[in-house]
Amino acid sequence: MTIKGPKGTQDFYGIRMERWKHIEKTLNRLMEIYSFQEIRTPVFESTDLFLRGVGDTTDIVDKEMYTFKDKGDRSITLRPEGTASVARAFIEHGLHQEALPARYYYMGPMFRYSRPQTGRYRQFHQFGIEVLGTREPAADAEVLEIIMKIFTTLGIQNLKLEVNSVGCPVCRPVHREALKEHLSANFENLCPTCQSRYEKNPLRIFDCKNEGCQSIIKEGPTITDHLCEDCQSHFRLVLTYLDQNGVPYVLNKMMVRGLDYYSKTAFEVSAGREGAQSSIGGGGRYDGLIEELGGPELPGIGFAIGLERVLLTIEEQDAFHSMEKGLPMVYVANVSESDLPQALSLVRQLREAGIPAQGDTMARKLKNQFKYANKIHADYVITLGEDESAKEAYPLKNMDSGTEVIMPLPALIKTLRGEGE
């Protein structure tokens, strides 16, 4: 019996791996331009981090965490997201004593135990940024500009940025009471999960997919209409900046996001796909998180994008044309067995010059070497026999056009590097 990969996980290879690397490269390049530093944190953390950070009444913590006891009887959780880990590392290493705002980015696997379907996996990958130490609306605007810049650079179309403000500890209790009052009149009609949310965290009812709950909550008061003066003016400024920077957005008062650490600005981006898996990225401000985790009173804002969903979107939109092609790949074929050492020596010299090259390691006949070169999509083939070795002049065959040019090694290298003769 063969063993299959675990449910909700994927293997990446072939063209999809190339596309994945193209996305990673684009992200790394943009991060350099926007001057963010990479941060790598472990894929597992103490369970407490997410209980306190993400919130124990969220779906993520309540239903979706991979939590287990290690051999030392510690409760460990595979990270379901990256923000809590970055905040933990920031506090643990006293990074707030360095230049603020701190600007970090990360990329890596996250784990959520949910029902797998297209665009939703149990192991998925996020790219995220976190800006720590600034409360200013200008920071919110920059973060929003960056998420949109990433998607447009990747060639994604039909982008929709939805923004909202989810308030702060000053205005939220006022809204909570107003919301509870509205809900209490309809309590019997809420689903059992939302009935339990009513006391613990009524804002989570906005996330419920149940149609009955949706129609009740739709009529209820939104946090956006209950913002305190500070949150209102902050939000107004963020929107003004977006207008000034020419970043289109839609205001969605129903959007509260599925994590408890958010305050003030919250946002999500989609790109034409409908349904629960439509969000290709999301984020917001989390001004209380660092303090909640035992650190100084410092604000933060960031986002994460789902790389699998980005890949699917680019594929669906057929937008991989912008993928830059690297250097051409050369296959060096040997005419007979006795030519193999020279052929492999040429492969070595090409590689030394930074050119991707491969030779025969299967003792294949010439015809089969050509078949192989075709299968691996070699851009060029050099066929090396006694004559070529003796003259040190090599026939470079373009596999697309079929044309062949004979050249000595230095000219060959120049051509393959695209430097001309």
Binding site for ligand HAM (CB under 6 A): 81-83, 112, 114, 120-121, 124, 126, 128, 130, 258-259, 279-284, 302-306, 308-309
Backbone angles phi, psi at 171, to 5 degrees: -90, -20
Least separation in angstroms between CB 250 and ligand HAM: 16
Least separation in angstroms between CB 125 and ligand HAM: 8
Rounded Cα gap, residues 162 and 141, in angstroms: 13
Rounded Cα gap, residues 21 and 33, in angstroms: 18
CB atoms inside a 10 Å sphere around CB 377: 11
E-strand ranges in 133-278 read 160-165, 250-251, 263-270
Least separation in angstroms between CB 288 and ligand HAM: 13
304 or 314: whose CB is closer to ligand HAM?
304
130 or 339: whose CB is closer to ligand HAM?
130
Rounded Cα gap, residues 201 and 62, in angstroms: 12
Tell me if 97 sits within 8 A of 80, measured CB to CB: no
117 or 215: whose CB is closer to ligand HAM?
117
111 or 370: whose CB is closer to ligand HAM?
111
Least separation in angstroms between CB 159 and ligand HAM: 13
137 or 283: whose CB is closer to ligand HAM?
283
Tell me if 249 sits within 8 A of 173, measured CB to CB: no
- Residue 124: which of 103, 110, 144 has the closest Cα? 110
Integer angstrom CA distances of residue 206 from 219, 268, 276, 279: 11, 15, 13, 16
Tell me if 19 sits within 8 A of 311, measured CB to CB: yes
Rounded Cα gap, residues 367 and 206, in angstroms: 65
Least separation in angstroms between CB 9 and ligand HAM: 11
Name the token pair of 297: 């009173």
Least separation in angstroms between CB 252 and ligand HAM: 14
Name the token pair of 131: 């800006």
Least separation in angstroms between CB 195 and ligand HAM: 24
73 or 274: whose CB is closer to ligand HAM?
274
262 or 370: whose CB is closer to ligand HAM?
262
